[in-house]
C-alpha cells in the first residue's frame, strides 16, 4: 500500500497527470471549436494535411515520417496539432541556443595533432576516415599516449572507481543519467564528502528524468550542503511543449584530468548486482589514463557551463598536465553526440563501423530498435561474408521495447546475422568490437532515442590492447547466451506478433 501511495504522490506521476490534463483541456477546446464552427474544423483539417506535406519533404528518418503521417491522417483534426507539440525531433530553440553557445566556447580548447592523424591514416585507412568524421563533426580529436582499461561488468568498474576517487587531489567531475541511494552511490558519496573537506573541487551533475523516481526533488540542495557543487540537467516541468525528450544519457567521471571513466554503468546498485532487478546485470565501461582524458574534461565543462551558467569560466585551469609517463597504445578518441547540432554522430559512427567491417563485428546492445538504414547495413555486412553477431537481453527491463527488439530478429537472421540473448538476465552494455582493429564503448544504444534525441558519449579505440579484452569478453559471454533461430521467431504466438507489429510501427516515437 505504501509503495502504491508513493507512486501516486511521486513528482513524475504528478507532472504526467498535469501534462495529460493540459492536453485533454486543449483537445476539448479544439473539438468544441470545430463543432461550433465548421470553418475552424476545416482549418484544422487543412493544417493536418499541410503537416503531412511538410513531413514528407523535410529531411529526416523515413520511419519517423511514416509513423507521423499515418497518425495525422488517422486523426486529421488533432494530428497536425499533435505533431506541432510532440512530433518534430528538433531541440527547443532555447535549449539549442544555450547549449550550442556553451559548446562553441570550448571548441578552441580542442586541437587535433595532425601527425597523429597522418600516422593513423598509414596504419588503418578505414579507421582514419572514421576518426576524421568524428573530429570534423564533433570537434573531439584522436589521441595517443593514452592507456585504456576495459571493465566487463559493473563490479570491476565500481572497485576501480572507488580506488581512483580516493587519489583525487585537485578536482572530481561526475555526470550520470541515473543515481540512486544504495551501496554504490553511498560509497562514492562518502569519498566525495571526504575530498571536499580536503579542499578538492567536486562537481556533480545528474539528469532530472533519469533520477526523478530515484532521488528526492531537493537532492541538489542536499549535495550542496555537503560542499558538493551540483547541477541538474533539463529539469522536468509540467508543460505541453516540453524538452523532456532531450536527456543527458552520458556517464562520465573525470579525476584531476588524469583519469576518466566512460560506459553504460550508472550509480545504482543493480549495475553492480547488489540489487537484482532483471537477473544478472551485465554492463561495460572503459577507463582512460593520459592525454585523451582532456576531451572528457571538456565534455563535462560544456554541460556544466550550460546548466550552471558559470560566466567567464577558465577552462584551461582544469587542463592539468599528465603526471604519469604513459606510452602510446593505439589511438583513442572520446567523443560526444548532441541533438542540438543535427548531426547523428552516434548513429553514423555505428554505421561506419558496420559498413567497413571485413571479418567480423560483435555488438552488445540492450535495445535493437532500428530503422531501415541500420537494418540494411547489418544485413549487407552479413551477406558480404562478415560475421555479424548481436547480443541482446534475455530478461528485459521494458517488455514493450524488448518485443520491438525481438520483432527485428527474423529479418536480420534471414540474411545471416546471428542473434543471441543473454540468458542470465539483462545486458545493458553498449560495446562494439570489429576485426581486432576498432571498437567503441559508451552510452549509445541502438535505438531512436540514443541516435536522435539524447546527449550521448563514447570512446573509439583503434589498435588498442583493450580490443583483445573486449573480443574475449564477447566470446565468453556467448557461452551463457542462447542463440535465436528462425524457428524461435516463427513459433512466437500469434497475438504477440500482432502486438509487436503495432509496437514496431510506433517504435520511432517511443
Residue-wise pLDDT tens digits, 53-86? 877 777 767 777 777 777 777 777 667 767 766 6
Q: Cβ atoms within 10 A of the Cβ of 387, count?
A: 15
- Which residues, in sequence order, are bridge partners of residue 407? none
What is residue 351's three-state secondary structure?
A: helix
pLDDT of residue 337: 94
pLDDT of residue 205: 96
93-116+139-333 CATH pick, 3.40.50.2000, 3.30.870.10, 3.40.50.720, 3.30.70.100: 3.30.870.10
- The pLDDT-based confidence of 308 (bands split at 50, 70, 90) is confident
- Under 8 Å between Cβ of 284 and 151: yes
pLDDT of residue 2: 43
pLDDT of residue 185: 98
What is residue 124's three-state secondary structure?
A: coil
| pLDDT surpasses 80 at 49 | no
Query: Does residue 215 or residue 3 have the better pLDDT?
Result: 215
- Under 8 Å between Cβ of 484 and 414: no
When pLDDT is averaged across residues 167-172 and rounded to a whole number, the result is 97
- Under 8 Å between Cβ of 443 and 456: yes
- Under 8 Å between Cβ of 76 and 45: yes
Determine the Cα–Cα distance for residues 262 and 150; give it in Å rounded to an integer: 10
Name the least confident of 167-176, 311-320, 375-384, 473-482: 311-320
pLDDT of residue 3: 43
Percent of the chain predicted with pLDDT > 90: 62
| pLDDT surpasses 50 at 10 | yes
pLDDT of residue 481: 98
| pLDDT surpasses 80 at 102 | no
| pLDDT surpasses 60 at 121 | yes
Q: Where are the beta strands (DSSP E) in 97-256?
A: 146-151, 171-176, 201-207, 229-233, 252-255
Radius of gyration of the chain measured on its C-alpha atoms:
23
Cell for 57? 519533404
- Which residues, in sequence order, are bridge partners of residue 484? 419
pLDDT of residue 240: 52
When pLDDT is averaged across residues 466-491 and rounded to a whole number, the result is 96
pLDDT tens digits for 206-250?
A: 999 889 889 988 899 999 999 999 999 888 765 555 556 788 999
Name the least confident of 37-51, 174-188, 255-269: 37-51
- The pLDDT-based confidence of 12 (bands split at 50, 70, 90) is low
pLDDT tens digits for 398-450?
A: 999 999 999 999 999 999 999 999 999 999 999 999 999 999 999 999 998 89
Query: Does residue 225 or residue 307 have the better pLDDT?
Result: 225
Determine the Cα–Cα distance for residues 367 and 422; give it in Å rounded to an integer: 12
Per the prediction, the chain carries an average pLDDT of 87
Cα-based angle 46, 49, 55 (whole degrees, multiple of 5): 140
Which residues, including other chains, have CB under 8 Å from residue 127's CB and lie 6 or more apart?
120, 331, 437, 438, 462, 463
Determine the Cα–Cα distance for residues 477 and 116; give it in Å rounded to an integer: 34
Determine the Cα–Cα distance for residues 4 and 379; give it in Å rounded to an integer: 45
pLDDT of residue 64: 72
Helix pair angle (38-57, 62-74), 10° resolution: 170
When pLDDT is averaged across residues 127-139 and rounded to a whole number, the result is 95
Name the least confident of 139-153, 319-333, 387-401: 319-333
Half-sphere exposure for 194 (CA within 13 Å, toward CB): 12
> For the chain, where do the domains classified as CATH 3.30.870.10 start and end?
93-116+139-333, 345-509
Cell for 477? 559471454
Q: Give Cα separations from 446 to 348, 350, 361 (angstroms).
A: 11, 9, 14
Spell 463-496 as b/e; 16+ CB within 10 A means b. Answer: bbebbebbbebbeebbeebeebeeebbeeeeeee
pLDDT of residue 5: 40
| pLDDT surpasses 50 at 453 | yes
- The pLDDT-based confidence of 280 (bands split at 50, 70, 90) is very high
pLDDT of residue 451: 93
pLDDT of residue 391: 98
pLDDT of residue 9: 45
| pLDDT surpasses 80 at 383 | yes
**What number does CATH give the domain 345-509?**
3.30.870.10
Amino acid at each position: 500500500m505504501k509503495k502504491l501511495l508513493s507512486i501516486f504522490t511521486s513528482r513524475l506521476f504528478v507532472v504526467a497527470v498535469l501534462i495529460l490534463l493540459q492536453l485533454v483541456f486543449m483537445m476539448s477546446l479544439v473539438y468544441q471549436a470545430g463543432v461550433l464552427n465548421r470553418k475552424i474544423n476545416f482549418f484544422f483539417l487543412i493544417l493536418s494535411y499541410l503537416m503531412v506535406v511538410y513531413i514528407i519533404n523535410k529531411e529526416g528518418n523515413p520511419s519517423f515520417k511514416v509513423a507521423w503521417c499515418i497518425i495525422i491522417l488517422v486523426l486529421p483534426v488533432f494530428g497536425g496539432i499533435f505533431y506541432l507539440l510532440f512530433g518534430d525531433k528538433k531541440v527547443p530553440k532555447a535549449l539549442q541556443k544555450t547549449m550550442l553557445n556553451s559548446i562553441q566556447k570550448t571548441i578552441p580548447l580542442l586541437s587535433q595533432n595532425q601527425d597523429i592523424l597522418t600516422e593513423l591514416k598509414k596504419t588503418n585507412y578505414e579507421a582514419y576516415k572514421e576518426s576524421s568524421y568524428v573530429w570534423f563533426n564533433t570537434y573531439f580529436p584522436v589521441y595517443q599516449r593514452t592507456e585504456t582499461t576495459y571493465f566487463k561488468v559493473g563490479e570491476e568498474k565500481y572497485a576501480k572507481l572507488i580506488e581512483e576517487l580516493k587519489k583525487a587531489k585537485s578536482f572530481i567531475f561526475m555526470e550520470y543519467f541515473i543515481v540512486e541511494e544504495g551501496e554504490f552511490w553511498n560509497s562514492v558519496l562518502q569519498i566525495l564528502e571526504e575530498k571536499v573537506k580536503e579542499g578538492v573541487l567536486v562537481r556533480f551533475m545528474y539528469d532530472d528524468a533519469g533520477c526523478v523516481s530515484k532521488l528526492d526533488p531537493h537532492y541538489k540542495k542536499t549535495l550542496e550542503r555537503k560542499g558538493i557543487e551540483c547541477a541538474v540537467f533539463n529539469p522536468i516541468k509540467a508543460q505541453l511543449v516540453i524538452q523532456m525528450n532531450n536527456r543527458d544519457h552520458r556517464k562520465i567521471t573525470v579525476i584531476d584530468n588524469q583519469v576518466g571513466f566512460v560506459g553504460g554503468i550508472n550509480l545504482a546498485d543493480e549495475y553492480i548486482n547488489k540489487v537484482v532487478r532483471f537477473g544478472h546485470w551485465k554492463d561495460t565501461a572503459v577507463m582512460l589514463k593520459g592525454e585523451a582524458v582532456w576531451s572528457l574534461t571538456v565534455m563535462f565543462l560544456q554541460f556544466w557551463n550550460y546548466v550552471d551558467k558559470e560566466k567567464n569560466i577558465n577552462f584551461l585551469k582544469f587542463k592539468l598536465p599528465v603526471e604519469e609517463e604513459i606510452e602510446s597504445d593505439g589511438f583513442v578518441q572520446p567523443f560526444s553526440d548532441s541533438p542540438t547540432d543535427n548531426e547523428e554522430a552516434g548513429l553514423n559512427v555505428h554505421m561506419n563501423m558496420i559498413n567497413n567491417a571485413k571479418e567480423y563485428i560483435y555488438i552488445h546492445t540492450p535495445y535493437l530498435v532500428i530503422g531501415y538504414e541500420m537494418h540494411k547495413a547489418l544485413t549487407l555486412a552479413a551477406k558480404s561474408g562478415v560475421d555479424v553477431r548481436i547480443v541482446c537481453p534475455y530478461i528485459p527491463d521494458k517488455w514493450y521495447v524488448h518485443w520491438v527488439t525481438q520483432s527485428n530478429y527474423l529479418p536480420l537472421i534471414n540474411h545471416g546475422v546471428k542473434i543471441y540473448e543473454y540468458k542470465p538476465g539483462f545486458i545493458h552494455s553498449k560495446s562494439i568490437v570489429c576485426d581486432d582493429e576498432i571498437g567503441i564503448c559508451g552510452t549509445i544504444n541502438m535505438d531512436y532515442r540514443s541516435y536522435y534525441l539524447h546527449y550521448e558519449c563514447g570512446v573509439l579505440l583503434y589498435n588498442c590492447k583493450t580490443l583483445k579484452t573486449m573480443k574475449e569478453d564477447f566470446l565468453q559471454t556467448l557461452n551463457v547466451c542462447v542463440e535465436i533461430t528462425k524457428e524461435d521467431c516463427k513459433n512466437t504466438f500469434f497475438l504477440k506478433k500482432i502486438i509487436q507489429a503495432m509496437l514496431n510501427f510506433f517504435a520511432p516515437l517511443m
